[in-house]
């Protein structure tokens, strides 16, 4: 029977044939050697000992060079397998991000580039913290690296599950590029599972919206943030789409109805929304804000500042919900439109969704809607 060498490092195994064979009855499975003192036994046992010594020498060399010790790397060095010329992980990531940056406004959004940059920044922090290195090789990225990176995002960076998954997906794209170019031979993500959890971002009810609109703020900046948020609640426009609105996006149809027409930054789909009276009021309030036809028609701050001020506004108004720019979009989809009987198809088109399944996330059954429908049912039963 052939003899095999099995190297195990932290649960990961690598096996290869040592090109020797003996009768099974001559093998000592406890000592890991051939029984007896025959020339055959001495020859094979000497070879086995030389393999063991070689394995430990390679382990010490890898540790001394501050490289990751894995079963595969030891096996490759021991039996002389051809080594893939490794590239810098960070350099490959940076080259990818440079390409993404050059394609902003054509194939990618600014936010996509920023997320990849943030992922790279966190990756460098992880490598420095975990391995005390300022550089890392692609070929040293293994399953352990992936699981430890996941743990780093969840523990050290305090990221929630979905944020962690998004970062890991960003990193996985770099690994796929490496695999496609044969810069690495195995996929370290192979046994790693990524699953987004369903998150209900919530929405504002009509009474909560009324409370926001009726509140007087003495600080102009706070008032402006509130107004932009209310505009979003009555149009369903995302933050980035609201920020880039100009006079060129406003249209008056033959029936005298004002429309906002734009393209979603996220999906590049066309969005057409008839302006409700409350949205028109806000545009009228800021009619002199725009400098020219190409400048923003509303005083939109950075997304971070908007969300920070909105949290403060929610506290002032006593609304026990985490106000954010994205909450306004859910409010439009749930309270303003579906809650008032609009069809899900019409809402999907106004939100610029590419699939109606996405719109179904907004299709919550409101208590008020249940009450109305049950009231109608009660009236019908009385008639019978």
Q: How far apart are CA 283 and CA 2, in angstroms?
A: 82
Share of the chain above pLDDT 70, in %: 94
Q: What tens digit of pLDDT does each residue of 129-152 get?
A: 998 888 898 988 999 999 999 999
pLDDT class of 30 with cuts at 50, 70, 90: very high
Residue 335 and residue 367 in contact, taking contact as beta carbons nearer than 8 Å: no
What token pair was written down for 163?
A: 């944020």
Q: What is the mean pLDDT of the chain?
A: 88
34-50 mean pLDDT = 94
Across the range 292-321, mean pLDDT stands at 91
First and final C-alpha spacing in the chain: 87
Residue 126 has pLDDT above 90, yes or no: yes
Q: What is the pLDDT of residues 248-293, one digit of tens each?
A: 999 998 888 999 999 888 777 888 899 999 999 999 999 988 888 8
Three-class DSSP category at 161: helix
**How does residue 371 score in pLDDT terms, banded at 50, 70 and 90?**
low
pLDDT of residue 266: 77
- What is the band of 25 on the pLDDT scale with cuts at 50, 70, 90? very high
The pLDDT, as a whole number, for residue 66 is 72
Mean pLDDT, residues 218-245: 93
pLDDT of res. 353: 82
Structure confidence at residue 375 (pLDDT): 74
pLDDT of amino acid 373: 67
Selection from 202, 72, 197 nearest residue 139 by Cα: 72
Residue scoring higher pLDDT (48 or 378): 48
Q: What is the pLDDT of residues 100-114, one digit of tens each?
A: 999 987 888 788 899
Q: Which residue has the higher pLDDT, 68 or 99?
A: 99
Confidence of residue 64 (pLDDT cuts 50, 70, 90): confident
Cβ atoms of 213 and 204 within 8 Å: the answer is: no
Hey, what are 329's tokens? 């979009």
pLDDT at 321 over 80: yes
Of 155 and 202, the structure prediction assigns the larger pLDDT to 155
CA 264 vs CA 51, 335, 342, 351: distances in Å: 62, 22, 21, 9
Judge whether residue 71 has pLDDT over 90. Answer: no
CB distance 236 to 330 below 8 Å: no
Q: Tell whether the model's pLDDT for residue 168 goes beyond 90.
A: yes
Task: Read off the pLDDT of each residue in 201-223 and give the average, rounded to a whole number.
Answer: 91
- 80 pLDDT above the threshold of 70: yes
Q: Which run of H or E residues covers position 113?
A: helix 110-131
H or E element at residue 90: helix 89-102
Per-residue confidence band for 200, with pLDDT thresholds at 50, 70 and 90: low
Separation CA 13–CA 234 (nearest Å): 59
Q: What is the pLDDT of residue 354?
A: 75
Which pLDDT value is given to residue 290? Answer: 82
List pLDDT tens digits, range 329-369. Answer: 889 988 898 888 888 888 888 888 877 777 777 666 455 56
Phi and psi for 35 in degrees, rounded to 5? Answer: -75, 155
């Amino acid at each position: 029977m052939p003899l095999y060498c099995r190297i195990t490092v932290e649960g990961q195994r690598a096996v290869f044939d040592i090109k020797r064979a003996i009768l099974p009855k001559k093998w000592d499975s406890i000592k890991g050697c051939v029984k007896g003192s025959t020339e055959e036994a001495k020859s094979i046992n000497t070879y086995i000992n030389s393999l063991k010594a070689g394995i430990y020498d390679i382990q010490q060399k890898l540790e001394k060079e501050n490289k990751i010790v894995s079963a595969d790397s030891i096996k490759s060095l021991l039996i002389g397998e051809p080594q893939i010329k490794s590239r810098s992980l960070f350099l490959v990531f940076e080259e990818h991000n440079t390409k993404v940056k050059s394609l902003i406004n054509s194939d990618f959004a600014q936010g996509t580039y920023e997320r990849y940059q943030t992922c790279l920044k966190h990756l460098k922090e992880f490598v420095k913290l975990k391995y005390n290195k300022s550089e890392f090789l692609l070929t040293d990225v293994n399953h352990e690296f992936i699981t430890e990176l996941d743990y780093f995002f969840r523990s050290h960076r305090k990221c929630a599950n979905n944020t962690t998954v998004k970062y890991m997906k960003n990193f996985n794209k770099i690994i796929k590029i490496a695999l496609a170019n044969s810069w690495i031979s195995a996929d370290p993500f192979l046994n790693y599972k990524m699953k987004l959890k369903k998150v209900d971002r919530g929405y504002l009810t009509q009474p909560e919206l009324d409370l926001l609109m009726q509140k007087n703020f003495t600080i102009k900046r706070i008032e402006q943030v509130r107004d932009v948020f209310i505009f979003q609640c009555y149009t369903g426009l995302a933050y980035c789409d609201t920020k880039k609105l100009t006079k060129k996006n406003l249209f008056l149809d033959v029936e005298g109805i004002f429309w906002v027409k734009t393209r979603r930054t996220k999906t590049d789909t066309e969005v057409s929304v008839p302006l409700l009276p409350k949205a028109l009021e806000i545009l009228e309030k800021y009619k002199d804000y725009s400098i020219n036809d190409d400048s923003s028609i509303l005083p939109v701050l950075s997304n971070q500042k908007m969300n920070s001020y909105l949290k403060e506004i929610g506290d002032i108004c006593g609304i026990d919900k985490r106000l954010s720019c994205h909450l306004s979009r859910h409010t439009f989809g749930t309270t303003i439109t579906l809650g008032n009987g609009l069809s899900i198809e019409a809402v999907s088109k106004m939100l610029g969704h590419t699939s109606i399944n996405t719109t179904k996330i907004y299709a919550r059954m409101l208590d008020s809607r249940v009450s109305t429908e049950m009231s109608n049912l009660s009236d019908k039963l009385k008639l019978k």
